[in-house]
Amino acid sequence: MERGSVAHAYLLIGPPHFGKMTLALELAQALNCEGAQPPCGSCDPCQKVASGKHADVQVIGLSSGGNSNNKPRTEIGIDQVREMQHSSSLPPFEGRCKVFIIDGAELMSNEAANCLLKTLEEPSEGVLFNLLTANDSVLPATVVSRCHRLELRPLPTPQVETALSERRSLESAKTELLARLCHGCLGWALLAADDDSLLQRRAQLIERLLEVIRGNNEERFDYVAQLAAQFSQNRASVQEVLDLWLDWWRDLLLVKLGSSDTITNVDHEAVLVEMSRGYSLAQIRAFINSIQAAGEQLEQNANPRLVLEVLMLSIPGRSAV
Ligand SMILES: [Zn+2]
């Protein structure tokens, strides 16, 4: 914007809660702002964009543009893209620039993506498209090539901590914990600050993890049976368990290497220190590899029960090292 060269379409890439929508909305504000330093956040257009009431700024996603049979949408349909195209051909209603934000662009049907392609190939003046996605590899290459690609990077932990303490008044230990747990994803930290159930769930998962590590094979296989059943309903929740395991074992590695100040689970440092004494560095590294391999195999649709049983069998045995 400073250089006066805003593209007509951006592809913003990053995991959930990474700031894609925030950035897209701030860009929409900046392009329509009436303040001296856009986006000022306080002028009428800026406030309208923030509250979703600006006539020239539209968000298209699974929850927008109600469909005829009232079923929840599972993809962004061609009807939504057509409606957006029609609207983009009209001049701005109240602002200077029309901004269309496609939230979850990877969820566009093939028809919808092809239809959008025509608009991206012949951009109109004063219209900006922002496509938000967690995974650009599933978008048609033709669509990606018509957009300016912006990959959002995780924020460094100290920066998350500062941003979080500016926005929420939490105890400093909790601010630090959330800043570590979010892995550079400020949106998640803010969500967890407002909703205690996220930290409660984590506490339950850690409790279970400790039981499983200390348990015998029978207890471990019971847990696998539970997870495998869960997997058919909700894959993401099993991936969440694996992510937590990965964090835990990475922490053990860091503690073992004498870098306790960089661990994620800062509230469990004493347990980690004690546990790390029972394993060699090679054992910890090997198990980290096993967790990563299990995650990849699940993604490739391997049998979840088998994958998780193999993972349980590779939990290293504790010895006095
Ligand atoms: Zn403004």
Distance 32 CA to ligand 1 centre (A): 7
pLDDT on residue 74? 87
pLDDT on residue 289? 97
Distance 152 CA to ligand 1 centre (A): 24
Distance 300 CA to ligand 1 centre (A): 47
CB atoms within 10 A of CB 247: 20
Radius of gyration for the alpha carbons in the chain, expressed in angstroms and rounded:
23
Distance 29 CA to ligand 1 centre (A): 6
Average pLDDT, the chain: 93
Distance 56 CA to ligand 1 centre (A): 14
**Burial class for 19, CB neighbours closer than 10 Å (0-12, 13-18, 19+):** middle
Q: Give 230-251 pLDDT, tens digit per residue.
A: 998 998 899 999 999 999 999 9
Residue 8's nearest CA partner among 119, 103, 143, 128 is: 128
Q: Which tokens belong to 157? A: 């932990």
pTM of the model: 0.80
Distance 87 CA to ligand 1 centre (A): 23
Please give the Cα distance from 312 to 305 (Å, whole number): 10
Please give the Cα distance from 184 to 161 (Å, whole number): 10
Q: Could you give the percent of the chain with pLDDT greater than 70?
A: 97
Q: Give 177-223 pLDDT, tens digit per residue.
A: 999 999 999 999 999 999 999 999 999 999 999 999 999 999 999 99
Distance 102 CA to ligand 1 centre (A): 22
Distance 8 CA to ligand 1 centre (A): 21
Distance 142 CA to ligand 1 centre (A): 34
pLDDT-derived band at 2 (thresholds 50, 70, 90) equals confident
